[in-house]
Amino acid sequence: MSQRFLVYPILFLAITQLIPLLAGERRWHAAQISQLSVTLLACCGAIYFSKDFIWVPLSWGLFGAFVIAPAVLTSVAAGKELRGYWRGAAIFRQLAGRVAWGQTGRLYRRYASALRLVACGQTEGALLALDQLAAQPMPLMISGIVHIWKLSLLVTLRQWDRAVVFYESVYDWGTLGQATQARLFAARALAEIGQIERALRSLQFVALSPRTLGARQTQLWATRICVAALAGDSGTVESLLQQREYARRSRGVA
């Protein structure tokens, strides 16, 4: 088998990620554009110099460092944030910032600083830092990410009223996927303050947009359990906990 088949997956994935960046705010994503461009050059080298195998591990190494590593680090950080492990989340956000480079890297590092404030008990300082970060000029999608960070922080800290007020004050979350995630956080907060009907309506909007759910299926499942439990609907809670695809997570949620 020719070595070019070993780099075709990387080539395809890098192109699919590069095209939206070129069509958007190029200055903001300059670092990511350069990273993906270098990865594509390495893939082209593997295809052109078909007898030099060194290009294959080079291509995979660049793809792992520039694409896979930031995504994995941010995913681990987000999981720790939801469980309230603020110091660990700050460490992983800091590492993601070092790998991402550019404006995105600085964004992650600023968020890591806010998480360290939460770990030290300076909650208001962390929320103020996120407000200051969102006030800076940035693309709408990136601004939506910062808003999601603040809403998630308010929900994790169980500041339900402030979470609802903040959710209602944001008119644009940047993308449909981020708006879906915001609705999930809002549904939990609404249920906690006794507005069950509004929480269920929010979940209905989420269920009506399956394309934007993706990896948030688990978050939707957990939020539905919380809302049903707060509504006193034990039958729905038991039914959701018995779903096979979430069997491993049911114990923790219960």
CB within 8 Å of 206: residues ≥ 6 apart: 180, 183, 184, 187, 213, 220
Query: Which position has the higher pLDDT, 249 or 147?
Result: 147
pLDDT of residue 252: 55
Locate 163 and state its tokens: 């979470």
pLDDT of residue 204: 87
pLDDT of residue 52: 81
pLDDT of residue 210: 64
Query: Which of the residue ranges 61-65, 72-76, 209-213, 230-234 would you say has the lowest mean pLDDT?
Result: 209-213
In percent, the amount of the chain with pLDDT more than 90 equals 46
Locate 224 and state its tokens: 């539905």
Distance CA 63, CA 43 (A): 10
pLDDT of residue 206: 85
pLDDT of residue 249: 58
Query: CA nearest 186: which of 172, 198, 171?
Result: 198
Distance CA 157, CA 96 (A): 23
228-254-88 Cα angle (round to 5): 110
Convert the pLDDT of each residue in 60-96 to its tens digit: 999 999 999 999 999 899 888 888 899 999 999 999 9
Convert the pLDDT of each residue in 162-203 to its tens digit: 999 999 999 889 888 888 899 999 999 999 999 999 999 998
Task: Report whether 156 contacts 219 (CB < 8 A).
Answer: no
Is 161 a residue whose pLDDT tops 80? yes
Average pLDDT, the chain: 87
HSE-up (13 A, CA, CB side) for residue 154? 26
Integer CA distances (angstroms), 217 to 133, 193, 224, in order: 29, 24, 11
